[in-house]
Amino acid sequence: MNNYKKTITILDTDPVNIEILKKIMMTAEDVDIQPYFFKTAQAFYDYLQLNDIPDLCLINATFNSDANCFGVCAYLKKNKITADMPIIFIIDNFDEQVICSIYECGAADYIKMPYNNTEMLMRIKTQLKLKYSLEQLKTKNRELEQINEKYKYELQLAHNVQKNLMLNTKIDSQYYNVDYIYKPYFNIGGDYIDVIKLNNELTAFIIGDIAGHGPATSLKIALLKSFIVTHIYFHNSPSEFLKNMNTFLLENYKKIEFNYLTFFVGFYNHKTKLLYYCSTAQPAPIYFNAKNNTIKELPVFGTPLGLFDITDFNEYQISINPDDKIIIYTDGMLNIFSDVPITFDLLKNKLITNDLIKKSVSSLKAEFYKFIVSKNDNSEFFDDDISILFIEFR
């Protein structure tokens, strides 16, 4: 408790009692008390309008000049300006109803007459210390709120930057339509989705997941993006690209805290209608063959990137028909807590129902999002990043 003079206001109409209280206040050794006495509530209210809020207020329970003592206390506690000012009542007997009224109107304590000087000063000092502690706590809370607002602002900036590092709009081209869902765990996340036109024939479809969440992981995504855009154009094979990326991760990410990266990359040639793809521990994409009207999981096999010096990646190839669709997603959707786990069979049944799989990618996106929210106890706050890429070929 700091040592500046403590202002104590006292509402009392008994002249004898006022003199006793003055003398007691003067005996305080380790706190400098400046008492102010008021015989009417109006005089006290006028004082409050012109002066700083007192550190403490004493009210005699017999005070009833122009306002009821409990009414005065209740008024002070309802007023935002005086609500934190501790109030101690002075009583002349232990009437149970009076004690109840004291606490009901918001007072902090009471002192019984005749006074014990030591007890009175200790009770006053206790309330002053509590008030000081409350003020310190509120100051710290304000500081934390300011830091939190700054942090939220910086997180939003990071979110906007990360959003511009990856796919952030649906694509409607003469070769394919693409839409997506991207819901980071904490405004910024460790998932990466993108569609990159490599040349006049090839387009790359990409989805990845760096283990972890938050600002640190988002910076790793930025570094990953930098590598992708400076290297992927020089590769005609997804397996060779992944080999190059794995070497990059082993050489550069070992200097920072990094667990691993799961990754799917597909190179689609719109002239040959062939899709070449590789996956490193990503969930198997869902493939709809419009010609055969079948839904299946695409075969995938691979070890996460950044763990071992891998020299070969399994590369797969499929022929694409008009109206075929592929749904690629990270494991965040599978990690949604639900009584019924999200599996391929569950997703397949969802896609078959009402021929959802035959609808536009935008309709697929909307229905898929409703579905995963329903599985997440109807909450849009997920425990992991949710990323899904919807592709319809023409």
CATH number of residue 177's parent domain? 3.60.40.10
What DSSP string describes 274-292? EEEEEEESPPPPEEEETTT
52 secondary structure, DSSP code: P
Residues 320 and 182 in one domain: yes
- Backbone φ and ψ for 144, nearest 5 degrees, come out as -65, -40
Residues 170 and 128 in one domain: no
Element (H or E) spanning 168, and its range?
A: none
Last residue of a domain, one of 104, 139, 174: 139
CA–CA gap between residue 274 and residue 100 (Å, rounded):
83
> In one letter, which amino acid is 10?
I
Q: Is residue 272 part of a domain?
A: yes
Q: Which of 142, 268, 259 is nearest to 205 (CA)?
A: 268
Residues 211 and 126 in one domain: no
Q: Which of 78, 79, 4 is nearest to 49 (CA)?
A: 79
Q: Is residue 31 part of a domain?
A: yes
Burial class (CB in 10 A: 0-12, 13-18, 19+), 390: buried
Element (H or E) spanning 81, and its range?
A: none
Calculate the alpha carbon distances from 93 to 77, 100, 112, 337 in Å: 24, 13, 7, 61
Q: Is residue 246 part of a domain?
A: yes
C-beta of residue 180 within 8 angstroms of C-beta of residue 390? yes
CA–CA gap between residue 332 and residue 351 (Å, rounded):
19
Residues 258 and 124 in one domain: no
Question: 376 in helix, strand or coil?
Answer: coil
Query: Which residues contact residue 161 at a Cβ distance below 8 angstroms, ignoring those fewer than 6 apart?
Result: 222
C-beta of residue 274 within 8 angstroms of C-beta of residue 319? yes
- Torsion-angle region of 276 (φ positive above 0: left; ψ -120 to 50: alpha; else: beta): beta
Q: Is residue 120 part of a domain?
A: yes
Q: Is residue 155 part of a domain?
A: no
Q: Is residue 149 part of a domain?
A: no
CATH number of residue 59's parent domain? 3.40.50.2300
Going 388 to 327 to 322 to 196, the CA torsion angle's sign is positive
C-beta of residue 384 within 8 angstroms of C-beta of residue 332? yes
Residues 273 and 341 in one domain: yes
Q: Is residue 157 part of a domain?
A: no
Q: Is residue 146 part of a domain?
A: no
Helical packing angle, 214-231 and 238-252, nearest 10°: 130
* Token pair of 55 as six digits: 């550190």
Element (H or E) spanning 256, and its range?
A: none
Residues 118 and 176 in one domain: no
Residues 294 and 238 in one domain: yes
C-beta of residue 329 within 8 angstroms of C-beta of residue 142? no
Residues 116 and 192 in one domain: no
Residues 135 and 174 in one domain: no
Residues 44 and 176 in one domain: no
* Token pair of 21 as six digits: 């209280």
CA–CA gap between residue 270 and residue 275 (Å, rounded):
9
Q: What's residue 2's pLDDT?
A: 58
pLDDT by 10-residue block (mean), the chain, 394 residues: 80 93 89 94 95 95 88 95 96 90 96 91 94 93 91 80 86 96 85 95 95 79 91 94 92 78 96 97 96 96 88 92 97 81 91 94 94 89 91 97
Strand partners, 296: 287
Number of independent structural domains in the chain: 2
Residues 193 and 306 in one domain: yes
Query: Which residues contact residue 117 at a Cβ distance below 8 angstroms, ignoring those fewer than 6 apart?
Result: 24, 27
User: Which range of residues forms the domain containing residue 377?
Assistant: 166-393
> In one letter, which amino acid is 136?
Q
Calculate the alpha carbon distances from 20 to 8, 16, 17, 89, 155 in Å: 15, 6, 5, 16, 60
Residues 230 and 357 in one domain: yes
